Amino acid sequence: MKYDMILDPTPGRKAFLLGNEAVVRGALEAGLSLASTYPGTPSSEIGNVLHAVAKKAGVYFEFSTNEKVAMEVAAAGAASGIRSMVFFKHVGLNVAADAFMSTAYVGVRGGLVVITADDPSMHSSQNEQDNRYYAQIAQMPMMEPSSPQEAKDMIKEAFEISEKLGLPVLFRMTTRVNHMRGVVEYGELVKGKPKGRFEKAPSRYVPVPSNARGMHIRLLKKMEEAEEMASTSHLNRVEGEGDVGIITSGAAYNYVADVVEEHGIRARVLKLGFTHPFPRARVREFLKGLKTVVVVEELEPYMEKELRAMAQVEGIDIRIHGKMDGHFPRHYEYTPEVVKRGLNSALGLNLPVGGVKVREITVPSRPPVLCPGCPHRATYYAIGAVLRAKKIRDETIFTTDIGCYTLGIQKPYEMADYLLCMGSSAGAACGFAKATDQPVMGFAGDSTFFHACIPALINAVHNRANMIFVVLDNRTTAMTGHQPHPGLPIDGLGDEAPALDIEKVVRGIGIEHVEVVDPYDIKETKAAFRRAVEHNGISVVITRRECALIMDARNRKAGIFRKYDVNQDMCTRCYNCVENFACPAFYRDEEGGVHINPYLCDGCGVCSQRDVCPFGAIEEVKKE
């Protein structure tokens, strides 16, 4: 099996692992018993590995409905005395925040590690918030690994620290560390307890005001203890010698280490791994004899602010450079070039900047598109045709959500006008329905529907919002790699599970105008949307057809290779297929003839319908 190497019991074995894979190995070496998540890049592979190995490893694992539920499940595990882990992408912590904050107050018995996977440069996210501030707001110890080996080793320590303090530990990773590969040396696998036992203690676990007041005092005391631990922790270590100091952490440490070594910079580097509470005693010691210190960290000046505050409070006379005086940028991932530029600026160095010279090649820009055969394309195409015929295409407000279907923003569909976060398609649609007299249509996927749309739809029903809500149900959580969700008959352990029917849920909250259509049937899909537009009040259309990639994989296995092409004798060059349907398999030759690239065509056959090609020019290619 793909991830069998994660369960190799041989201590000392070396494996070439992704940061996310190393995290799972580390948790299994720590005696993990329970794990939960909602998938989100860059943390998704942690869930994919656990989905494959959890049962064999004797760990309970689930893809929870959303991050808040995942947080609550893991917190209950830790309160029952078993080692538990919850993980999500950075914005997932916003969803989990309510439960996350209170978990610090009520504390844990079994170790609880909360992994946040931040995404500097927003490779797959709507923002690049720095979740280290969550450790400060919640008063939680925090660790930041820099490599897969460190991630594996550090997560074991995170469980230890969590149990010693009785607090959850925030484990902050970033895309570069999640997705970096490196050699990881295994320790021993430790079997976690199969079940815990919850000892009732309402004064400890129920933060009503009279209890919460005492909890806050205890939490602050624990954080004093945590600061001592951080100051003596080997995770905060000094490397090198020199007259200037550099304080760094996470992925930025790797670039600092490379630049210092490559250019022979005489610097004393404090590499912080246990970063909250800020290890003031350790830093104080480090600063002795230094006149200048530079803080190199991605995103916000979290450590820099701590350092400046400490210097001010303690009257430490030292020059501090970083982002706050403009030497380093506050956005995007760092690279060795960014670090060199920052050090040049802060220290007056003259390190060569410019990177490796590569031959410049001009390539056409390729914006991301829906895959050939994607059912969402057919949905958008049908909706566009209906709204144009009704002459309301331009005034309709399209609220969208987080998933592959967000690509509906691209031409020619252009059906994404407003997006905030998971579930905002439904909530914002309610708002626009009340705030304007324009037609409103919201789009969400099946996984997103379960994640965060249901309360907003209840809101729409109760407040009589006049809107159309579309669930693009492709039977998976496609964008993050096909993880299951509550609408599918499989759970996180790979066992059979009850599948919730979206139509029944929608009807159950009081929506009466509900239709389920196959978007591959464009005629029927158009008819369903025509009825939805004509309906006064809230209507829901569920366009149900599995993700094209799942269909492709199944067809490949079965030896089915269907292809379509344009019959040049019948094609009138009206270009409806290219310009309005816009499957990426279509292309025009230099004379204007339309063709289908057989390497891209996945044989869905949608374009062969008269609703796409009115002249019946698109035909299945008969096998010789």
Residue 48, number of CB atoms within 10 A of its CB = 19
State yes or no: residue 256 binds ligand SF4 (CB under 6 A). Answer: no
State yes or no: residue 595 binds ligand SF4 (CB under 6 A). Answer: no
C-beta of 594: minimal distance to ligand SF4 in Å? 4
Contacts of 451 (CB under 8 A, 6+ apart): 38, 65, 66, 422, 423, 485
State yes or no: residue 73 binds ligand SF4 (CB under 6 A). Answer: no
Contacts of 98 (CB under 8 A, 6+ apart): 68
> What gap in Å lies between CA 347 and CA 321, rounded to an integer?
9
Choices 121-129, 204-212, 262-270, 611-619 (CB under 6 A): range interacting with ligand SF4: 611-619
Nearer to ligand SF4, 372 or 442 (CB): 372
State yes or no: residue 605 binds ligand SF4 (CB under 6 A). Answer: yes
Which listed residue (42, 77, 277, 373) binds ligand SF4 by CB under 6 A? 373
C-beta of 383: minimal distance to ligand SF4 in Å? 17
Choices 248-256, 339-347, 516-524, 602-610 (CB under 6 A): range interacting with ligand SF4: 602-610
What residues does 274 pair with on adjacent strands? Answer: 143
State yes or no: residue 441 binds ligand SF4 (CB under 6 A). Answer: no
State yes or no: residue 615 binds ligand SF4 (CB under 6 A). Answer: yes
In this structure, what DSSP letter does residue 403 have? S
C-beta of 517: minimal distance to ligand SF4 in Å? 17
Quick one: CA torsion of 468, 472, 476, 481, rounded to 10 degrees?
-110
State yes or no: residue 596 binds ligand SF4 (CB under 6 A). Answer: yes
State yes or no: residue 374 binds ligand SF4 (CB under 6 A). Answer: no
Tokens coding 404: 């592959």
State yes or no: residue 617 binds ligand SF4 (CB under 6 A). Answer: yes
State yes or no: residue 602 binds ligand SF4 (CB under 6 A). Answer: yes
Nearer to ligand SF4, 359 or 599 (CB): 599
C-beta of 547: minimal distance to ligand SF4 in Å? 13
3-state secondary structure (DSSP) of residue 312:
helix
C-beta of 470: minimal distance to ligand SF4 in Å? 20
State yes or no: residue 601 binds ligand SF4 (CB under 6 A). Answer: yes
State yes or no: residue 618 binds ligand SF4 (CB under 6 A). Answer: yes
Tokens coding 203: 């004064």
Q: On the CB side of 581, how many CA atoms lie within 13 Å of its CA?
A: 29
Question: Which 554-593 residues touch ligand SF4, going by CB under 6 A?
Answer: 564, 566, 571-577, 583, 585
User: Is 423:465 a contact under the CB 8 Å cutoff?
Assistant: no
Which listed residue (146, 372, 513, 590) binds ligand SF4 by CB under 6 A? 372
C-beta of 551: minimal distance to ligand SF4 in Å? 11
Which residue from 545, 518, 520, 541 is spatially nearest to 530, judged by alpha carbons?
541
Residues binding ligand SF4: number (CB under 6 A)? 26
Residue 394, number of CB atoms within 10 A of its CB = 9
Q: What angle do CA 440, 535, 475 make, to 5 degrees?
A: 70
- Long-range CB pairs of 453-457 (<8 Å, 24+ gap) are 453/401, 453/423, 453/425, 453/426, 454/505, 454/509, 455/423, 456/423, 456/426, 456/427, 456/429, 456/430, 457/426, 457/506, 457/509, 457/511, 457/538, 457/540
Nearer to ligand SF4, 70 or 585 (CB): 585
Nearer to ligand SF4, 211 or 410 (CB): 410
> What gap in Å lies between CA 464 and CA 135, rounded to an integer?
40
C-beta of 592: minimal distance to ligand SF4 in Å? 9
C-beta of 368: minimal distance to ligand SF4 in Å? 17
Nearer to ligand SF4, 59 or 585 (CB): 585
Q: Which amino acid is at 218?
A: R
Q: Is 156 exposed, middle or buried (0-12, 13-18, 19+ CB in 10 A)?
A: buried
Q: Which amino acid is at 433?
A: A
Nearer to ligand SF4, 183 or 570 (CB): 570
C-beta of 569: minimal distance to ligand SF4 in Å? 11
Q: Which residues lie near ligand SF4 (CB under 6 A)?
A: 372-373, 564, 566, 571-577, 583, 585, 594, 596, 601-607, 613, 615, 617-618
